[in-house]
Amino acid sequence: MAVLRITKYPEKVLKTKSKKVEGWSDELSKLVEDMFETMYAVSGVGLAANQIGIPLRLAVIDVRPGGQSRRLVLINPKLTALEGKQEEPEGCLSLPGIYKRLGRAAKARVLCYDQKGMPWEIRGTGLLARALQHEIDHLDGKLFVDRLSIMQKVNVQKEIKRYQTIWERQVTTRPALVAD
């Protein structure tokens, strides 16, 4: 397993709609394990494949702390139902240091496949519902800041400019499966 380089805004792959995963392989299983290791290394709760430079419809989520881990693998996920409202601070591993209050559905239902190719449904509330929506947004080429109001976007752009010099200095490894 390996900790992979996380793409940072404004890298193009973050704004690109991800391609459907076709077939399941040992290589895909290794990628899933590397994604979990990367996510845990930076204390994240979710990671989409395009956040490591790979534009595939694949994401991993674990919203439970430490020993209570519940690893969720989402391959070709599709949101099928959203209910209610919640407004909480949200951040992103591709925009480190940026946190903004954002409205999302309080409940989410997703149809997807696991890493063995078996279809399954995830129903989430609270943080899990938020993480499901956030990661599927990534797979659709959207960042959480794209959902902010115009005024919030103006302010967040100023914050992003301040952080970009820090992000550019970060040195990490590149994934073996980078697709440009």
**CATH at 83:** 3.90.45.10
Is 93 a domain residue?
yes
pLDDT at 65: 66
pLDDT at 171: 45
Is 48 a domain residue?
yes
Q: For residues 161 and 167, is the Cβ–Cβ distance under 8 A?
A: no
Q: For residues 134 and 144, is the Cβ–Cβ distance under 8 A?
A: yes
pLDDT at 146: 97
pLDDT at 128: 96
Higher per-residue pLDDT: 167 or 8? 8
Torsion of CA 9, 11, 14, 18, to 10 degrees: -170
Average pLDDT, stretch 162-166? 80
Dist. CA 94–CA 165, nearest whole Å: 14
Is 57 a domain residue?
yes
Which tokens belong to 118? 């078996």
Is 174 a domain residue?
no
Dist. CA 173–CA 21, nearest whole Å: 24
Confidence band, pLDDT 50/70/90 cuts, at residue 176: very low
Average pLDDT, the chain: 91
Residues β-bridged to residue 103: 87
Residue 127 has pLDDT above 80, yes or no: yes
Is 29 a domain residue?
yes
Residue 173 has pLDDT above 80, yes or no: no
Which tokens belong to 126? 């609270």
Is 176 a domain residue?
no
Residues β-bridged to residue 89: 101
| 124-133, 147-156, 166-175: least confident range | 166-175
Q: How many domains does the chain have?
A: 1
pLDDT at 180: 36
Task: For residue 74, give its domain range.
Answer: 12-169
Residue 31 has pLDDT above 70, yes or no: yes
Residue 18 has pLDDT above 90, yes or no: yes
Which tokens belong to 18? 């991800």
Is 177 a domain residue?
no
Is 152 a domain residue?
yes
pTM over 0.85: yes
Confidence band, pLDDT 50/70/90 cuts, at residue 138: very high
Per annotation, catalytic residue among 121, 135, 159, 168? 135
pLDDT at 172: 45
In the residue annotation, 27 being an active-site residue is answered as no
pLDDT at 67: 65
